[in-house]
Structure 1
Amino acid sequence: MISNTMKGVYLTGHGGPEMLEYRTDIPVPVPTADEVLVQVSAAGVNNTDINTRTAWYSKGDSSDEDASWSAEPLRFPRIQGADVCGKIVAVGANIDQSRIGERVLVEPCLSYVNGEKRQVPWYIGSECDGGFAQYTVVDSRHACAINSTLTDVELASFPCSYSTAENMLSRANVVNTDRVLITGASGGVGSAAIQLAKARGAYVIAVTSPAKKQPVLDLGADETIDRDADLVSTLGESSVDVVIDLVAGKQWPQFLQVLKPGSRYAVAGAIAGAMVELDVRTLYLKDLSLLGCTVLGPTVFKNLLSSIEQGKIRPIVAHTFALKDIHQAQEVFAEKQHAGKIVLEIPTPVR
């Protein structure tokens, strides 16, 4: 018997950590015809959680009108959490009952909502409620069965970061002859990109801090560069085939300088600063391709699940916290002293 209420964290509006409210009386969602109800066991913490809370995605003066993945106003209260691991405990009218009991990872980029294809995909935890609660609902297509000996906490480190990394590598068409420069290499997406690029046979150059050099090398990076170093003088002009960028910021012009003519730059983050300086001559004289990467390609998550099940990639969990300690978890996350993912353990509901 599933309770009518659950424990979870409400985001009550844009602002600081005080906008996150731990509650024990949140209504349990009911799956509509094409949805499944997932009992969440673990949920990862991501940059997008903080960016959404602080309205970082807004490009205008208003923090309310476009501060979401879809550039539409968020509806509050919202339950965040894009990394969801759990099991299906109920299904909608159009879904086979045999799915109940499946262990699943939720694909975070939602192309379908209750059976209907979205023209602009949603992101779970932004346009709809996510995994920072004991239960969540999602279109059945995006609740993907997983067969693995990894723990739920370990599995929850994968969906958002690793699918983002896999999508960037796919869009940039990374192959085994490529030299790939990865920025923000010790973070969740960066550490995922290292492993996935190495699985493709590429040569990986990781940009990180000296303190995180060894963990990054242990992940498989072939060499590291200090994030404060001059990339052009260190690597040389036109020396890499692909840049996988998660930071942007003042160093950004150097990313294009180190790319070979005809090469590819893929970006899915801007933690060092969203506004960059572009010399358009570099772009067109070197015939570069610039790729913004948000919506997952149709095979990206399937490929990721296959890599997990085959043991080609491994989870990197830095810390775990109880759901009620989400403020502390985000504080540790924001300090950026960890390598890998921070994961919240979701309490098992009492039935």
Structure 2
Amino acid sequence: MRCVQLPAVNQLHVVEVPDPRPGPGEAVVAVRAAALNHRDVWIKAGQYAGLKWPCIPGSDGAGVVTEVGDGVDATWRGREVIINPSLEWGENEAAQGARFSILGLPREGTLAQKVVVPAPQLTAKPAHLSWEEAAALPLAGLTAYRALFSRAQAQRGERVLISGVGGGVALFALQFAVAAGAEAWVTSSSDAKIERAVALGAKGGFRYTDADWASRAVKETGGFHVIIDSAGGAEFGRLVDVAAPGGRIAFYGATRGDPPTLPMRKIFWRQVSLLGTTMGSPADWRALVAFVERQQIRPTVSEVFPLERAAEAFALMERSAQFGKIVVTMP
């Protein structure tokens, strides 16, 4: 089969490797489409824990089950599926366990014509989604769903702020908030991305590069009940500033590093909750798929590349030039 292989730091090749075979409890999926996440770029750059070389990256994928191992229901064969990339979450709904991992490292990932996954990770593909849309959903959709609903408990009518709109998780959080009846707002450094977010249902947005954006946001909205963030860094205190009393800030990353200071007096006096979150449990996954089917949500796909042009797909994500998910289709 053909696949994306990372043989060493900052090296990427599309190569031929032997077809994978399922073990007990596993299934082989012939991948129709896969999607990139920042995780894949960090693995390529050697900036992720547990690196191994060579590896096949990719956490997102959709395709058709072609083989099943011992102990797996044979009726899975021939079914169109999406893959839950959240492996071995554990029994605690509040947080992942010690054996938790994400598809694409250390287990070989979806940027290949075939991938082997544990059968419990299979879910029927939502019928209203194309292959590209289905491939775009799993990791970012699950992360956004847990952050917004399981952790931040966003409710209809609340004001929700999604920072850095344009990436996959942020766009899903926007779509989910709008579908749930919340009043969604966004931040970005790009007026064009804010305009596109408004077209998807956002009430409005603010350029986080403007020195006075936080004061304008509070004046215009009264503050936000829920804030979804992945940047952190020196500007994290601004999110505390724009949180309404009793607000909840859920963050699933720290791409700009740790905040140099934390305004604890503001946080405790206004009873703001800080909520760390990552990926999602099997229950979150089931709720996500049901929500997407019920609301007929379609993921935003930014660009589609054939497998042989996977290096271009990675380059686009490395430039952060996308608006939505970057998808790779299989020959």
Same fold (TM over 0.5): yes
Kept in 2: contact 1:231–1:258 (CA 8 A): no
Cα distance in 2 between the residues matched to 1:315 and 1:345: 16
In the TM superposition, 1:283-294 aligns within 5 A as: 283-294=267-278
1:86 alignment partner AA? G
Cα distance in 2 between the residues matched to 1:149 and 1:203: 26
Paired residue for 2:51?
Answer: 74
CA deviation map 1:123-168 (0-9, x unaligned): 0012211101111111111111124142211211111111111010
CA deviation map 1:265-291 (0-9, x unaligned): 1111233x1121312223323322211
Secondary structure, aligned partner of 1:130: coil
**Corresponding residue pairs, total:** 320
Kept in 2: contact 1:182–1:243 (CA 8 A): yes
2:109 alignment partner AA? G
TM-score by length of 2: 0.91
Q: Aligned-pair distance for 1:221?
A: 0.6
2:39 pairs with 1:48: yes
Q: Aligned-pair distance for 1:112?
A: 6.6
Cα distance in 2 between the residues matched to 1:216 and 1:252: 22
Paired residue for 1:12?
Answer: 7
Which structure 2 segments of 5+ residues have no match?
Answer: 91-95
Paired residue for 1:224?
Answer: 205
Paired residue for 1:260?
Answer: 244
Which structure 1 segments of 5+ residues have no match?
Answer: 1-5, 57-66
Kept in 2: contact 1:121–1:295 (CA 8 A): no
Cα distance in 2 between the residues matched to 1:231 and 1:120: 42
Q: Which moved more, 1:237-246 or 1:97-106?
A: 237-246
- One of 80, 86, 99 as aligned partner of 1:120: 99
Residue identity over aligned pairs, in percent, reads 31
Kept in 2: contact 1:243–1:265 (CA 8 A): yes
Q: Aligned-pair distance for 1:245?
A: 0.3
Paired residue for 1:39?
Answer: 30
In the TM superposition, 1:115-194 aligns within 5 A as: 119-170=98-149, 171-194=151-174
Secondary structure, aligned partner of 2:227: strand
Q: Aligned-pair distance for 1:309?
A: 2.6
2:64 pairs with 1:87: yes
Cα distance in 1 between the residues matched to 2:46 and 2:257: 13
In the TM superposition, 1:269-288 aligns within 5 A as: 269-271=253-255, 273-277=256-260, 278-288=262-272
Paired residue for 2:316?
Answer: 332
2:305 pairs with 1:321: yes
CA deviation map 1:88-133 (0-9, x unaligned): 10011000111101111111111279xxx96331100122111011
Cα distance in 2 between the residues matched to 1:211 and 1:48: 25
Kept in 1: contact 2:165–2:194 (CA 8 A): no
Kept in 2: contact 1:34–1:140 (CA 8 A): yes
Change (3 A) 1:39 1:268: same
2:282 alignment partner AA? P
Cα distance in 2 between the residues matched to 1:42 and 1:134: 9
Secondary structure, aligned partner of 1:156: helix
Kept in 2: contact 1:87–1:104 (CA 8 A): yes
Q: Aligned-pair distance for 1:85?
A: 0.6
CA deviation map 1:282-339 (0-9, x unaligned): 3323322211111403322112222333353112111111112111111122222331
Paired residue for 1:204?
Answer: 184
